[in-house]
Structure 1
Amino acid sequence: MSDAIAYFRRTPILWLIVFVPIAIAGEHIWPDAHTLLFLLSVAAIVPLAALLSQATEAVAARTGDTVGALLNATLGNLTELVIALMALAAGQYLLVKASIAGAIVTNTLFMLGGSFLLGGLKFHLQEFNRVNARFLASLLFMATIAVLVPSLIGAADGQPQTAFTQQLSAGLSVLLIITYGLWMLFSLKTHRELFVSATSEHGGDEPHWPLATGIIVLLVVTVLVALVSEVFVGSVQVAAEELGMTPAFVGFVVVALVGAAAEMATAFSAARKDRLDLSVGIALGSAVQIALFVAPLLVLLSYVLGPQPMDLQFWPGAIVMMLVATMAATLLSNGGRSAWYMGVLALTVYVIFAMTLFLLPPQV
C-alpha cells in the first residue's frame, strides 16, 4: 500500500480526487445545480481513471496483456452497466440504447485511434498481435449484424416494438452471451497461445504495485466510479441543455467518453509504453464485451427490471455508425502494425460522427 501512497504523492492529477466526495455529497446538497454537478463529476472521474489505469497495469504485468485487457474492459464496462441498469429500471430505453451504441463506436474509433496516435508519436512503428485484433473485429462485426436484424425487421413493420422483435431480441441475446462465453474459453484456455503479446519488451521502467494492492485499488475505484457516474447521469441532460449540447451528442459522445475514461487512460498509457497489445485488447475487447455481453444482458434483465421488455432495435443512424466503426477497426488492425497516421484516420471518422450528431440529432 506504501507504493500506492508514493504514486499518489508524485502524480499531481490525483489531487483532483478531492472532487469525488464533493460530487457525491453535492448530489444531496445542491440537487438542482445540474451544471455544477456535471462539472464536478467530470473532474472527479479524471483522477479515478488515472488510479484505475495504474492498478490495471499492475495486475496486467503479472497476468499478461490478454487477461489484463479483459480485466480492464470488464471493470471499465461495469460503470456503463450500472448506468444502463438505472436507466433500464426507469424505462429510459432510448438512453440505454444510445449509451450502448455510443460506447461501441467510441471504444472502436476514439480509443483505438488515440492509442495508435499517442504510441506512434513516440515510436516510429509499433506491432501488436493481429490474430487477437482480427478475432475481436470479427466478433464485433457479428454482434453488429445481430443488432441490425431486429432493427431492419422493426423498420419494415413500421412499429417501434412488436412481439416478434421482442422474441427475436431475447433469442439473439441468449445466443450472443453464449458466443461471448465460448470466446472466453477459446482465448483464455484452449487457444491462449495465439493471443500472446507481439512484443516482449513492455517499455518503461516504472515499478508496478504489488498484485494485492492493484486488486484492492481496482475494486475500490470501480465502486467510486459507479457512484460518481450516477451523479453524472443525473445531471448531464439538464446541463447539456444549459451548455448548448444536443441530446444525441450527449448520449452518443459525452456519456460514452466519460464512461470510458478509465479504460482510455490505461489504453493510452500502454501505447506510450509500447504495449500496444494491451491498448488494442482494451479498445476492441471493451467494444466486444458491450456488444456481446452488456447489451444482451440488459435485454434479458429488462424482463425483470423494466416496465416492459427491451429489444435490440436501434435507429438507422446508430446502426450505420456501428457498422462503419467495425469496418474501420478491421481495416486498421489487419496488418498487425501501426503508425501515428493510422490513429489520425480513426479519429477523423469519429470526429465526423460527433460533428454530425452535434448538428443533426438522429431521428428515433
Structure 2
Amino acid sequence: MNVLLLFIPLSLLLEYVFHSPPLWVFATATIAVIPLADWLRKGTEQVAARSGQTIGGLLNVTFGNLAELIIAIFVLMSGNVMVVKAQITGSIIGNALLGLGLAILIGSFGRARQKFSGVNAGQLNSMLILVVIALLLPAFFDYTERLPGFAATSEAARDNLDEYLSLGVAVVLILVYALNLVYTLVTHKDVFALEEEEEGHQGNLWPVWKAAAVLVGATALIALESELLSGALEASSKVLGLSPFFLGVVVLAVVGNFAEYISGSYFARQGKIGLAINIAVGATIQVALFTAPLLVIISYLIGKPMNLVFSSPLELVAIVAVALSVITVTKDGEATWFEGVLLLAVYVLLALAFFFVTPKAEAQFIPPGTPAQVRTVAA
C-alpha cells in the first residue's frame, strides 16, 4: 500500500510541472488518495486502541468520510453540483453494500457465521429508515410542486422552495445525528458498547502526537489531491466516454470512502464483525445525516447552492435498496459469507444501472443556474 504513496508527487508533477492531459492527473490523483485513506485508517486504529471500539469506530467513520467531504467540497466549488449529489448517492450505496459486503465476505473465510449485537444493529437500522425518509421527502416535495394545482408560480419559485426545504431538512438531520451520538455514547453508552477484545491491540501503540500527525497530514494531502481530482473531472469524463454522473456515483464515492472499506474488512477478518458493521453502516448514516446536510449548508456559504432533491428515480431506488438489504442481512444478529455475496450483488446491479442510465457520449456538464433556453439547446 505504501508504494502507492509515490503517486502523490507523481500527480503533482503531472499537474504543475509537465501540464499533462487531465486524464493522467485524474488517474494518478485517484490512486494517490487510496494509500492516504489507509493511513487515516491506521491513525484511527491507534486512537481506537486507547479509547475503545465504540469511540474508535466513530472516529474511523468520521475521518474516513472526511476524505469524501473534502473531495465533495472541491467538486462543489467547481460548480459540479450534479456530481456531488451523485457522490453522496454512491457513498451511501458503496458503504452499506460494497463496504459491508466485502467485510462480511472476507471476515467469514474459515468461519461458519459471525455473531454481533442485535441491539446495536437495530439502532443502526432505525437510523437507516430515517435516511430513507429524509432523502425521499425533498424529491417527492419537488414532484408535488410540479403537479397541476400544486405547482409554484414559476420554476424559480419552485427552486426556492426546494432550497428552503433542503436547508430545513439539513438542520434537522444534523441535530438528529448529534443527538444520536449523545444517545449511543453518553446516556446509553453501556447498552451500545461493543465487546472489547481481551488480547487488546497487537503491536506497540503509537505516541499520541504521532497518531495526531498522521491524521492531520493524511487529511491535508487528501485535500490537495482532491483539488486535482475536481479540476480534471469533467475533461476526464469526456476522454473516457463516461458521464460525470457515473464518475461521481462510482469512482469518486469509492475513492472517498476507501478507508472504510479497508477498515471494515480488516476488523471483520480479526473477528470484530460488530465493529465492521458499525464502520460500514455508520459511515452510510453519517454521509446521509451529517455529510450531505453539511454540504448543503457549505454550498450556500460558498455561493454554489445545492439542494437535497435527488431527481433521478434510480438514485431514490438505490437508497431504498440499501436500507432493505442491510436490514434484511443484519436483523438476525449474525452474518455468513453468502450474505456478503448478496450485498455485493446488489451493489454490482446498481452500478451497472448507473453506468447505462446515461449515454456514454453525454459528457457535457451544464452548470446550475443556466437559463432554460440554453439547457434545452445543450440537451
Per the normalisation by structure 1, the TM-score is: 0.89
Q: Is the 8 A contact 1:35 1:238 kept in 2?
A: yes
Q: Is the 8 A contact 2:97 2:344 kept in 1?
A: yes
1:267 aligns with 2:264: yes
Separation in structure 2 between the aligned mates of residue 122 and residue 214 of structure 1, nearest angstrom: 33
1:9 corresponds in structure 2 to: none
Structure 1 residue 124: Cα displacement: 2.7
1:290 aligns with 2:278: no
Separation in structure 1 between the aligned mates of residue 356 and residue 232 of structure 2, nearest angstrom: 22
| 1:235-267 deviation line (CA, Å, top 9, x unaligned) | 233223323433332110111011111221111
2:309 corresponds in structure 1 to: 313
2:178 corresponds in structure 1 to: 181
One-letter amino acid of the counterpart of residue 180, structure 1: Y
One-letter amino acid of the counterpart of residue 175, structure 2: I
1:58 aligns with 2:31: no
Structure 1 residue 72: Cα displacement: 1.2
1:347 corresponds in structure 2 to: 344
Q: Is the 8 A contact 1:127 1:198 kept in 2?
A: no
| 1:131-175 deviation line (CA, Å, top 9, x unaligned) | 222212221221221121110121232358532222211111111
2:105 corresponds in structure 1 to: 117
One-letter amino acid of the counterpart of residue 193, structure 2: V
Q: Is the 8 A contact 2:125 2:327 kept in 1?
A: yes
Structure 1 residue 52: Cα displacement: 2.1
Q: 1:198 to 1:40 in 2, by over 3 A?
A: same
More deviation, 103-112/126-135 = 126-135
One-letter amino acid of the counterpart of residue 90, structure 2: G
Structure with greater Cα Rg: 2
| 1:268-287 deviation line (CA, Å, top 9, x unaligned) | 11111111222111111111
One-letter amino acid of the counterpart of residue 308, structure 2: L
Structure 1 residue 320: Cα displacement: 1.1
1:225 corresponds in structure 2 to: 222
**How do residues 152-231 of structure 1 correspond to structure 2 at under 5 angstroms?**
152-158=140-146, 161-198=158-195, 200-201=197-198, 205-231=202-228
Q: Is the 8 A contact 1:42 1:258 kept in 2?
A: yes
One-letter amino acid of the counterpart of residue 117, structure 1: L
1:241 corresponds in structure 2 to: 238
Structure 1 residue 107: Cα displacement: 0.6
Separation in structure 2 between the aligned mates of residue 168 and residue 235 of structure 1, nearest angstrom: 32
Per the normalisation by structure 2, the TM-score is: 0.86
Separation in structure 1 between the aligned mates of residue 283 and residue 275 of structure 2, nearest angstrom: 12
Separation in structure 1 between the aligned mates of residue 281 and residue 71 of structure 2, nearest angstrom: 21
More deviation, 245-254/351-360 = 245-254
1:136 corresponds in structure 2 to: 124
1:302 corresponds in structure 2 to: 299
One-letter amino acid of the counterpart of residue 34, structure 1: P
| 1:33-67 deviation line (CA, Å, top 9, x unaligned) | 12211221233223223322222222112111111
Structure 1 residue 296: Cα displacement: 1.2
1:93 corresponds in structure 2 to: 81
1:147 aligns with 2:147: no
1:67 corresponds in structure 2 to: 55
Separation in structure 2 between the aligned mates of residue 320 and residue 273 of structure 1, nearest angstrom: 34
Q: 1:234 to 1:131 in 2, by over 3 A?
A: farther
Identity of aligned residues (%): 37
One-letter amino acid of the counterpart of residue 48, structure 1: L
Separation in structure 1 between the aligned mates of residue 26 and residue 187 of structure 2, nearest angstrom: 45
The count of residues paired between Structure 1 and Structure 2 equals 351
Structure 1 residue 201: Cα displacement: 4.8
1:323 aligns with 2:320: yes
Separation in structure 2 between the aligned mates of residue 267 and residue 64 of structure 1, nearest angstrom: 16
Q: Is the 8 A contact 2:7 2:31 kept in 1?
A: yes
Q: What SS does structure 2 have at the residue aligned with 1:162?
A: helix
One-letter amino acid of the counterpart of residue 144, structure 1: V
Q: What SS does structure 2 have at the residue aligned with 1:123?
A: coil
Q: 1:237 to 1:288 in 2, by over 3 A?
A: same
| 1:278-337 deviation line (CA, Å, top 9, x unaligned) | 211111111111111111112222222124x32211022111101111111111111221
1:8 corresponds in structure 2 to: none
1:22 corresponds in structure 2 to: 10
Give unmatched runs, 5+ long, in structure 1: 1-12
One-letter amino acid of the counterpart of residue 166, structure 2: S
Structure 1 residue 202: Cα displacement: 6.6
Q: What SS does structure 2 have at the residue aligned with 1:227?
A: helix
1:44 corresponds in structure 2 to: 32
Q: 1:129 to 1:206 in 2, by over 3 A?
A: farther
**How do residues 249-260 of structure 1 correspond to structure 2 at under 5 angstroms?**
249-260=246-257
Q: What SS does structure 1 have at the residue aligned with 2:194?
A: coil
